Structure 1
């Protein structure tokens, strides 16, 4: 087997001992690796250079240069070439694993909210090699297959009796302008009480058509008719949800409902009104909640007429959850799970501020949602299978009936 022999001349030895040691060390590593490649070539050929041997299996055919990025900088290797069969080395297998790990790390840093400029600076410090912003963007495209796979994953494997949806907006460059794009998100609650991100996609805005496309994709992926949908009061959500899932009643998110009412009230009345609304939503029965609503209407009609009109008109839709067992209310009365996801998305996107295009928005924020989905699946909720099984057939029929009544009211 061929041996690796390293010879240093006087200048190399002086540089290594007293000169630019960092550069000299890089040169030494480059020299060692090149000698190792020559030794591997000799072993594969079965003969030294110019050696006549019966064991020879091939002929040398020069070399080719290949850069190798290391912690001490980029070194240039002289890779041997053979005439009949390719030269093989274990060195590049290790390099490819390291390179793959590096690229995955770069993509993960961007997902975590580190700017591409900072990523480039960090990688340069570690490896001694600069990666441009465009290179890092290309690296992030490696995430696309995972995003596509998640968007199309099978939802028929589990039952999701309760879902919640919402949209959050991001700035994107498009046709030399900065526009807002909506990221739609759906989260489902399984019969075991686990919360999962079911689907997400980017749209130009919230319209009947975009929400119809969103819900249609959920159904095409295998989502069965949920028992209830929770969302804010956007008309397009309600229109599309009833079109695709006509048997599913709507629960108006009590968090958004409270915010709508308070925004319509004078500033001076908001603190007291907020406390009153909270007590109303925490009532133990629907009868008690209605009584509290009537008290609020009586107390605030003169000082906050617009807010009271909103409360009166939207109350029943915000109380759909009262048709279910009490131990389910806390998880289904709001879409706060998605609100928490939205806050995490905004935190990660703060360093980006404006996405270069729609694809990058879907790629990066979609990756964040996939990561957050893993976290959601690890959390336990107080809503378990017993809570789901306690929902009687009579209640299920009432929920369907309510869905039809809500559709009639909306159509009117």
Structure 2
């Protein structure tokens, strides 16, 4: 790699023409970025490499290696390092993705505020952040915070028939101690069948009053037309949905099955999972309710607690049957959000402990903005035809749901 870094334009062309090294484009890019970095660092330090000048404000101290993935392949960069004065980072790497910028900003904020851990120390070194000041951190955070605030506060003009609500606990440093806080996210499918992230907030506890305030903030921004809200089980959230949205609630069936495993013997879990699977894959709501009755009869002698919980949760578990069949697999659980939740978890785990609430919102908001952009440009999550059936209004009869959906698709 040292040989590649010292190559001149003539060397690149000669090697390509001789057939010794045919990756001309990658070598050309490597050569250009090397010259660009040397020019930038010369401007930053006030003098070129090896040049004596009274204008020099920093001395160079070798190189730092970093792999750079590009469309022409991976290039091993040798980034100049400074011994004193301002640190250097290549301009062509600076606009990173919003997620990467957010991670850097959070790490820097933690480091400057004196709450760093060994993990943050390693990240500072790996990211090549170098010397930093509170002013530098503030500038980077300000731009990201404005972007995330604009995203969180934007007006919601479409109707959103389906709404998913989810919470993830993150560790935040507050008044000298580390506390667990609830980071809540609202996802929805709009009237055109496109997924959107419509809300993000953080609170002390995942309580009923907190959920009420969160849902009211969504309504204040224009949320309307919700016909079904989907989430994991939380009594405070269920009450908040009824109070603020006046919409049916769908309890996540996947989480319910997992919860039931905690109320039976290990050798009974297969029986319970199979029985519930039959319920959630029935031909319609009427058939599902019949299967619930049969399952309750089978389980009564062996798992009475499961029977009690299933009987109490039946209506909440089967709410999705009142909607078009093409939507059932997406409405009966929060699983469609798993990939997004894992990405939030992966990014937040990099930081470990957030220095404050704003940093948690910044990082997770950046992740969600990128996800939202991807959703808005990819294919619809649900077809316009099937969404037209939902927008026509609530339908009680399952056969009528199916007939209207078929007629809409045919049209």
Query: What's the TM-score once normalised by structure 2's chain length?
Result: 0.69
Deviates further, 67-76 or 267-276: 67-76
2:115 paired with 1:121:
no
> Secondary structure of 2:250's partner?
strand
State the match for 2:156 in structure 1: 155
Shift of 1:387: 0.3
2:348 paired with 1:349:
yes
> Secondary structure of 2:187's partner?
strand
> Secondary structure of 2:350's partner?
coil
In 1: Cα distance, 2:176 partner to 2:106 partner: 27
Q: Tell me if the contact between 2:46 and 2:56 (Cα under 8 Å) persists in the aligned partners.
A: no
Shift of 1:76: 9.2
Deviates further, 178-187 or 96-105: 96-105
Shift of 1:101: 4.1
1:45-64 matched pairs, under 5 angstroms: none
Shift of 1:201: 0.5
Shift of 1:132: 4.9
**1:138-182 residue CA offsets vs partner (Å, 9 max, x unmatched):** 4345311111111101111x2211111011101112122221100
In 2: Cα distance, 1:277 partner to 1:349 partner: 34
In 2: Cα distance, 1:299 partner to 1:397 partner: 29
State the match for 1:144 in structure 2: 145
Query: What's the TM-score once normalised by structure 1's chain length?
Result: 0.68
1:64-213 matched pairs, under 5 angstroms: 71-74=79-82, 101=95, 107=101, 110=104, 116-124=120-128, 130-132=130-132, 138=138, 139-156=140-157, 158-213=158-213
RMSD value over aligned CA atoms? 3.9
Shift of 1:131: 3.1
Deviates further, 372-381 or 274-283: 372-381
In 2: Cα distance, 1:210 partner to 1:234 partner: 12
2:288 paired with 1:289:
yes
2:362 paired with 1:358:
no
State the match for 1:214 in structure 2: 214
**1:169-209 residue CA offsets vs partner (Å, 9 max, x unmatched):** 01112122221100111000022221111111001111121
Q: Tell me if the contact between 1:331 and 1:383 (Cα under 8 Å) persists in the aligned partners.
A: no
State the match for 1:331 in structure 2: 330
Q: Tell me if the contact between 1:111 and 1:367 (Cα under 8 Å) persists in the aligned partners.
A: no
Q: Tell me if the contact between 1:30 and 1:76 (Cα under 8 Å) persists in the aligned partners.
A: no
Structure 2, gaps ≥5 residues long = 1-40, 64-78, 109-118, 399-411
Q: Tell me if the contact between 2:163 and 2:229 (Cα under 8 Å) persists in the aligned partners.
A: yes
Shift of 1:392: 7.3
> Secondary structure of 1:372's partner?
helix
In 1: Cα distance, 2:95 partner to 2:392 partner: 53
Distance 1:192 1:136, change over 3 A: same
State the match for 2:37 in structure 1: none
Q: Tell me if the contact between 1:172 and 1:357 (Cα under 8 Å) persists in the aligned partners.
A: yes
Q: Tell me if the contact between 2:299 and 2:307 (Cα under 8 Å) persists in the aligned partners.
A: yes
In 2: Cα distance, 1:99 partner to 1:269 partner: 55
In 2: Cα distance, 1:285 partner to 1:160 partner: 24
In 1: Cα distance, 2:276 partner to 2:106 partner: 37
In 2: Cα distance, 1:351 partner to 1:241 partner: 33
State the match for 2:114 in structure 1: none
In 2: Cα distance, 1:27 partner to 1:107 partner: 25
